[in-house]
Structure 1
Amino acid sequence: MVESQVLTVAQMRAAEQDLIDRGSSVDRLMKLAGDGAAEWVWRLASRRRVTVLCGPGNNGGDGYVIAENLRRRGAEVTVVAPMAPKTDAAKSARSRFGGPVVSDGGKAKGGVLVDCLFGSGLTRPLEPEHALALRDLGKRHEQLIAIDLPSGIESDGGKILNENLPAYDLTLALGAWKYAHWRLPARFRMGELRLVPIGIGHCESAARLIGKPNIGPPASDAHKYTRGLCAVIAGKMAGAALLSSKAAMRAGAGYVKLVSDHSHPSAPAGLVLETGDLDEALAHRRVRAVLIGPGLGRDDEARSKLASVLASKKSAVLDADALHLLDPSQLQRDCSYLATPHDGELEALCRNFAVLAADRAGKALGLAKASGMVVVAKGPDTVVAAPDGTLALAKPAPTWLSTAGTGDILAGIAVSRMATGIPAFEAACEAVWLHGEAARLAGPAFIADDLAHKVADAMAAAL
């Protein structure tokens, strides 16, 4: 869907130029964006005084359009413009604004500040006087709205370019989502996020935002094997694999088998426990996907188990210790693999596969291409990368996920989704969404066991 795509600055400029080439104009796009944003500002302002801070570029031009829209509705609105408009479209928008424009915002105060100082093209820090003006105006207004991006944010990387910039209550993305809307550290300064459409079309190379999956119920003639059998391989710390199994049982697979040398007296009755030879268990023709890594350990026995899983040529989810033990030569290029590293594991994998990149998304993409695996680089701003360069970004999940065992739950969901027969990239995106939704449903201060039990409720939310 166009609404879910995430664009770089270069992609956004190309998309806008495409609209212009097909008969639109910069002025028309600015009017469309400004009027769409003004609807949100009008609702939030609720007849309070509005100050619009305008910069010299087209983001400032959007601000003049917003201000005029509000003025015509009867709002008390003042434009603060420390610099005169420089682009033709911004000059034209300024000429159409019929209210007061001041160059110094020292006395401006009110209910809402609308930040149109600089938009998504900013790559260097704000000048000290502009940063100071933004901070001061922020303190004198009750609520803050950013247009496209808060000033002082780098769009593609999500970096905060100045210190002590204000936090916003609402950020209105113009035309399409930008990377900074969903990446740290910028994301947590933007408040609520809303998209203002301006007719941007589909961009083939764009990243996508992970949304609620469309998961259907089992077919009328389904049985446990048609729904998929997945095997979870236990290791030294058997509790982690048991957590993964509990999640897998609730994430769509019809049959979950825990292959373990331990007895697991606390295992749920519906979980099949297999204690025999691992190679024999993996040879079962109905096993569609395998998870190895949670609690595996890093000794010779663990290496042997990982080697058996990879030699079986089964679709596999590789997590935790398996990622540290993985030898690139073990991967079968004609097999489907899904890796779920946290930042430390991602760093180790990148070294192992000779991948050089600066940020999580770049590392995930580089690793996926080098290894042939789908990579879920998990963390506060999780990304999913495919070997063909496809990238998906996750929406914020509850920060209560920062507790032991929740990664095992994610891995269990992922192997269950893979066992249903969907491609690894789609399984990864579904798993990330279900994991976050389960956390939301679990409420505050949950533990991993609580999270596992909420996976079924998350599935229900996706039906």
Structure 2
Amino acid sequence: MAEADKIAVATGVPSLELMEAAGTAVADEICRRWQPRPVTVLCGPGNNGGDGFVAARLLSEAGWPVKLALSGERDRLRGDAAVNAGRWTGAAEPLDVNVLDGCELVIDALFGAGLARPLSGAALKVVEAVNERSLPCVAVDIPSGVDGNSGQVLGAAVHACLTVTFFRRKPGHLLFPGGGPAGEVVVADIGIPESVLLKIKPLTFANAPLLWLDRYPWPEAASNKYARGHGVVVGGGEMTGAARLASTAARRVGAGLVTIAAPAEAMVVYAAGAPGTLFRPAADDKELAVLLSDPRKNAVLIGPGSGVSETTRLMTLEALRTGRPCVLDADALTVFQDDPQSLFSAIAGPCVLTPHEGEYARLFGCSGDKLFRARAAARQSGATVLIKGADTVIASPDGRAAISVNGPPELATAGTGDVLAGFILGLLAQGMDAFDAACAASWLHGAAAAQFGPGLIAEDIAKTLPTVLRDLKRMP
């Protein structure tokens, strides 16, 4: 945000006008939701506090009883914050928990997205008191205590019911744990030109159709099943459900054909499933190589239900050797925990790795916030990496990253990861690149689960997908 402000000012937008617009947006959102009531505005020593002074002034002028507390000395404020402090005709009380007495609404304008150290002293005590008293709170830009770049909570964070941010959301609004305290997030237009994005060239995105929809592989009038790709799901001999879930998902998202490749003795189980899914025996890497000698089989998923074994490791390497798009999930990741470099060295084509946090730790062992870890893993492996969770992060080796937050908590049930892997496979088979396929699959997965709602089990996601796809196709 600081960079966007700086570029906007360089293009001729006065910084004082930006601050006035920010404070006005906060006051407007409050007036839309609440009737006048005692409000305490908590102002920090920087521009976030300046926004708070503007909001306090405007609410007071609108007849709200406003109390303002300032962290630090008023005469030490600088720049636009000092100007707006001068426009505030009321008192600026020292920051202390007592300023919360009698208030029915709090405006948190202590610290913005650039906070770099844990809260301490009076700021920490006041934030904890706001939370302990369960006071309705509106955060300016981002809840104080949340790192805007990582979503990490630095010591403590105020729990807001509403956050008013500016120009664009920050990663901290989306990534957990910081995304939780943000509550509802409203993005206000404060006059920063859209052209600023061309200079910033952002590499981090909220995952939404706008990011990939113009490249989504809708079938064309002259399409046939072969033109829509042929995905291969490498299944296990015992845990057959995972491969069946994935293959159904790949078909439902549009793959023209899907073959399950698994030990011959499991054929009866697989054949009793969806009749539109093909089956070919492949018990080891040599048999898989024969199957993949057919160039029409253009994308491979391995890992769901495969088992942690040398056979799985060799079959994974064989799939990667072809250079065709691959999705590696679950056991296909775990089998390389003792020698991850042998996996990374074998990646010869488009590849998506889909670890959950435990699998990530076993394979990469990198520490840091989720966005940093996903990017580090993508660079290290040369693959697109999707770290699953309530805040799924998808990262490309070229530095791009997207954060998915549309998945409901009902996705925390067995088999949903297999469905996600199948969606990615189906999109890769239809020609989407690895990053787009992972982003689109993650969003569709969350949207279908949310559409179904409570009572969701893994099988319901693919069944609900057509409704989501119909709505998606109607988007401009």
Same fold (TM over 0.5): yes
SS at match of 2:111: coil
Aligned to 1:80, which of 50, 58, 69? 69
SS at match of 2:99: coil
Q: Percent identity?
A: 34
1:182 is matched with 174
2:276 is matched with 270
Structure 2, unmatched stretches of 5+, are none
Is residue 151 from structure 1 mapped to residue 161 from structure 2 by the alignment? no
2:225 is matched with 224
Is residue 92 from structure 1 mapped to residue 67 from structure 2 by the alignment? no
- Aligned equivalents of 1:347 and 1:140: distance in 2? 38
1:281 is matched with 291
- Aligned equivalents of 2:56 and 2:107: distance in 1? 9
* Shift of residue 234, structure 1, vs aligned partner: 0.7
1:188-207 Cα deviation digits (max 9, x unpaired): 11111121233162121431
- Aligned equivalents of 1:65 and 1:266: distance in 2? 67
Aligned to 2:16, which of 11, 27, 32? 27
2:354 is matched with 340
Contact 1:33 1:175 in 2 (8 A): no
Contact 2:451 2:464 in 1 (8 A): yes
Structure 1, unmatched stretches of 5+, are 1-11
1:204 is matched with 201
CA RMSD of aligned residues (A): 2.3
* Shift of residue 224, structure 1, vs aligned partner: 1.1
Matched AA of 2:466: A
Contact 1:228 1:255 in 2 (8 A): yes
2:309 is matched with 299
Alignment of 1:104-123 (within 5 A): 105-106=98-99, 108-123=101-116
SS at match of 1:188: coil
Matched AA of 2:46: G
* Shift of residue 241, structure 1, vs aligned partner: 0.7
Matched AA of 2:173: H
Segment of structure 1 superposing worse, 49-58 or 370-379: 49-58
Segment of structure 1 superposing worse, 336-345 or 132-141: 132-141
Aligned to 2:240, which of 230, 235, 238? 238
CA spacing shift, 1:107–1:13, aligned 2, 3 Å: closer
* Shift of residue 412, structure 1, vs aligned partner: 0.4
Contact 1:346 1:363 in 2 (8 A): no
1:161 is matched with 154
* Shift of residue 376, structure 1, vs aligned partner: 0.6
Contact 1:51 1:108 in 2 (8 A): no
- Aligned equivalents of 1:155 and 1:456: distance in 2? 36
2:5 is matched with 16
2:464 is matched with 454
Contact 1:235 1:302 in 2 (8 A): no
1:352-380 Cα deviation digits (max 9, x unpaired): xxxx4423322221221122111111122
Aligned to 1:54, which of 43, 48, 60? 43
Contact 2:148 2:172 in 1 (8 A): yes
* Shift of residue 454, structure 1, vs aligned partner: 2.3
Alignment of 1:311-322 (within 5 A): 311-322=321-332
Give the aligned length: 447
1:7-51 Cα deviation digits (max 9, x unpaired): xxxxx3222211122222331221121112222121122333332
Matched AA of 2:273: A
* Shift of residue 285, structure 1, vs aligned partner: 1.9
- Aligned equivalents of 1:231 and 1:70: distance in 2? 61
* Shift of residue 99, structure 1, vs aligned partner: 4.5
Contact 1:232 1:290 in 2 (8 A): yes
SS at match of 1:187: coil
- Aligned equivalents of 2:454 and 2:371: distance in 1? 29
* Shift of residue 292, structure 1, vs aligned partner: 0.6
- Aligned equivalents of 1:234 and 1:451: distance in 2? 20
Matched AA of 2:82: K
Contact 1:175 1:197 in 2 (8 A): yes
Contact 1:45 1:111 in 2 (8 A): no
1:389 is matched with 399
Matched AA of 2:116: T
Segment of structure 1 superposing worse, 274-283 or 14-23: 274-283
Segment of structure 1 superposing worse, 92-101 or 367-376: 92-101
Matched AA of 2:180: F
2:449 is matched with 439
Tell me the TM-score normalised to structure 2 length.
0.87
1:360 is matched with 370
* Shift of residue 161, structure 1, vs aligned partner: 2.2
- Aligned equivalents of 1:140 and 1:166: distance in 2? 11
Matched AA of 1:181: H
Aligned to 2:56, which of 53, 56, 67? 67
* Shift of residue 421, structure 1, vs aligned partner: 0.4
Contact 1:51 1:109 in 2 (8 A): no
Matched AA of 2:403: L
Matched AA of 2:407: A
2:255 is matched with 253
Contact 2:150 2:370 in 1 (8 A): no
Contact 1:251 1:413 in 2 (8 A): yes
1:222-248 Cα deviation digits (max 9, x unpaired): 111212221111123221111111111
Contact 2:353 2:385 in 1 (8 A): yes
Aligned to 1:417, which of 411, 420, 427? 427
CA spacing shift, 1:166–1:120, aligned 2, 3 Å: closer
1:67-100 Cα deviation digits (max 9, x unpaired): 2222333333332324334122111112223455
Tell me the TM-score normalised to structure 1 length.
0.90
Matched AA of 1:375: V
Contact 1:235 1:260 in 2 (8 A): yes
CA spacing shift, 1:206–1:31, aligned 2, 3 Å: farther
Contact 2:347 2:383 in 1 (8 A): no
Matched AA of 1:224: K
- Aligned equivalents of 1:55 and 1:207: distance in 2? 28
- Aligned equivalents of 2:26 and 2:402: distance in 1? 26
Is residue 132 from structure 1 mapped to residue 125 from structure 2 by the alignment? yes
Contact 2:323 2:347 in 1 (8 A): no
Segment of structure 1 superposing worse, 73-82 or 444-453: 73-82
